[in-house]
Structure 1
């Protein structure tokens, strides 16, 4: 069966209460005749690490672990937000918190610590585990960081791509779109527009994305322009920190990231990029997405000719596209108030 390659982004506007409410809204009991969706999470989780490090991966994993319509088959770690030692250690610590809270044991497998090289065959605990999971049946891949582990796997085992039902990746952009989150903010400006971001997961390992673009795999992209429609505020974090379990554990490790956004970006809260992936799996109908041509190329329009950036560029049918991708540009979740649903103790049997 033919598949397609697809990517997406994130945005500002409704607050964490609304976003997590939608995630929780999808946590209904699965009927006995409907098997949970098999999901593999690939992450560069670094909540609580030193420096300016976002907690979005950890929020996404904590939300996915509470979704009873999803079976998390495994978690693999990759460099990105931090080095592999840090992301692996933090992912295992989060898995422990989830187990203490829900009784759900997430198996964590260490992956790549450096970018993909087309000339090197690299096997890691992560690639071995993902291969086993794909051999057992169809699998949705949720890539919250660079695509390195997936490239390492499929460069050696392209046949396994047939069992990928969807690869959901947090990356992608339109040519000419600069990522400066201080847009519309009143403070924290630098050169009139605040700090500039980049398409981080793509830029950290462009060759990995280039390899995956050769596969006949359906991909959904959740990009920056989508994430900027949702904002996590200090009030949101306070509510989560006051709760119990893994969500509280993550919230307590998010303070430094929130402070950076308030001080240097000038916003009241931060955009929860990776959390949109968890929400997308729970309620994809809350997203406005379309099939778009995509290519990996140099964007000379966003930051000027002197600062060209390679990116996963979406749109412009006249350009030489390598694939069509499902690109999500709008979050349609509304302003639901179900934060208490995520903050409450989940209906699982703890250890």
Structure 2
């Protein structure tokens, strides 16, 4: 039976890669896409989600989310990585035949999990503000959500610690207060962070072959990746890109691709280390310990990158043949 997911996303280039992965795989039932600020403004990101829904005839509902963090000042759209409107050199049309539902993202999440208790996995690949708002309004959903899978954070494994500051990953840095709420809630959380996403690579050749073999969806991914690859080439010195958001979808499909460790997690919410994610992994007792009172959550520390890349390619090639 396919796994029902709501994908909370800030569409973005790698977000589109993740959305199409979720749509394409037969083991996933993508019932909703909730948008949040981050890689793009909330208006551009929502338009991008609607464009994907229309272009690839998706059944998932699109719900527009919040445009700002809970407390901190907004950082602004990540134009240098994702372009002015989020999809690099590709711009979604101003006019589409479909619209987002009237219900805001946090309410869509609440209503959906209440209507499907124990069945929905929330996959969050942007700032976690929508999920935090849902928790504030309806704390009971912690007992109704099957699992929360987050692309975000960095814990120092495999020498990965941050990408927007020396110690913070972008999604968490955009709203550290929301992330701390989500990670310390009593629902089960799996964090697929830079520790594993920066261990997998879509090379330029891989994306070229996807374009050639995966039809319309492969061509679209190739088109939006041009801007992304220029950023990686110029700023990171790579001929390719990390597999960030699609890795969260890969975990939902095939958790065995990842090795995880357990322990409670806190997020630094101010100062030069704002957005840093810290997991307590020992069992020691301390005089001062603001970790142990919270539930242990899982953090990805290793990934079978070759199998992940094969899974992504095979999924999209098969999807293009339908």
Superposition TM-score tier, normalisation by shorter sequence: 0.7 to 0.9
Match of 2:260 in 1: 289
Match of 1:225 in 2: 195
Distance 1:107 1:291, change over 3 A: same
2:319 is paired with a residue whose SS is coil
Return the offset for 1:328.
Answer: 0.7
Return the offset for 1:260.
Answer: 1.4
**In 2, are the aligned partners of 1:76 and 1:110 still within 8 Å (CA)?**
yes
Distance 1:280 1:337, change over 3 A: closer
The structure with the greater share of residues assigned to helix is: 2
Return the offset for 1:254.
Answer: 0.9
Return the offset for 1:278.
Answer: 1.1
Return the offset for 1:325.
Answer: 1.1
Counterparts of residues 210-221 of structure 1 (less than 5 Å) = 210-221=180-191
Match of 2:32 in 1: 74
Return the offset for 1:327.
Answer: 0.7
Return the offset for 1:106.
Answer: 1.9
The structure 1 residue matched to 2:225, chosen from 239, 254, 270, is 254
Return the offset for 1:262.
Answer: 1.4
Return the offset for 1:130.
Answer: 1.4
Give distance in 2, aligned partners of 1:297 and 1:245. Answer: 42
Give distance in 2, aligned partners of 1:258 and 1:114. Answer: 28
Distance 1:58 1:258, change over 3 A: same
The answer to whether residue 272 in structure 2 is matched with residue 313 in structure 1 is no
Match of 2:145 in 1: 164
Match of 1:37 in 2: 3
**In 1, are the aligned partners of 2:70 and 2:177 still within 8 Å (CA)?**
yes
**In 1, are the aligned partners of 2:153 and 2:168 still within 8 Å (CA)?**
no
Counterparts of residues 244-283 of structure 1 (less than 5 Å) = 244-283=215-254
Match of 1:331 in 2: 303
Cα-to-partner distance string for 1:177-226 (whole Å, 9 max, x where unaligned)? 66478xxxxxxxxxxxx996831111101121222244211000011111
Return the offset for 1:241.
Answer: 2.5
Give distance in 2, aligned partners of 1:207 and 1:337. Answer: 36
**In 1, are the aligned partners of 2:150 and 2:191 still within 8 Å (CA)?**
yes
Counterparts of residues 175-194 of structure 1 (less than 5 Å) = 179=161
Matched residue count? 281
**In 2, are the aligned partners of 1:173 and 1:311 still within 8 Å (CA)?**
yes
**In 2, are the aligned partners of 1:240 and 1:248 still within 8 Å (CA)?**
yes
Give distance in 2, aligned partners of 1:85 and 1:127. Answer: 16
Distance 1:72 1:298, change over 3 A: closer
**In 2, are the aligned partners of 1:44 and 1:57 still within 8 Å (CA)?**
yes
2:229 is paired with a residue whose SS is helix
TM-score (norm 1): 0.72
Greater relative contact order (Cα < 8 A, sep 6+): 1
Give distance in 2, aligned partners of 1:205 and 1:151. Answer: 10
1:344 is paired with a residue whose SS is helix
Match of 1:59 in 2: 17
Counterparts of residues 49-128 of structure 1 (less than 5 Å) = 55-99=13-57, 104-117=58-71, 125-128=104-107
Distance 1:216 1:110, change over 3 A: same
Return the offset for 1:172.
Answer: 2.5
Give distance in 2, aligned partners of 1:227 and 1:71. Answer: 23
Return the offset for 1:77.
Answer: 0.3
Distance 1:334 1:241, change over 3 A: closer
**In 2, are the aligned partners of 1:178 and 1:196 still within 8 Å (CA)?**
no
**In 2, are the aligned partners of 1:94 and 1:246 still within 8 Å (CA)?**
no
Return the offset for 1:239.
Answer: 1.7
Match of 1:134 in 2: 113
The structure 1 residue matched to 2:177, chosen from 204, 207, 226, is 207
Give distance in 1, aligned partners of 2:234 and 2:316. Answer: 27
Could you tell me which runs of 5 or more consecutive residues in structure 2 were left unpaired when the two chains were aligned. Answer: 73-101
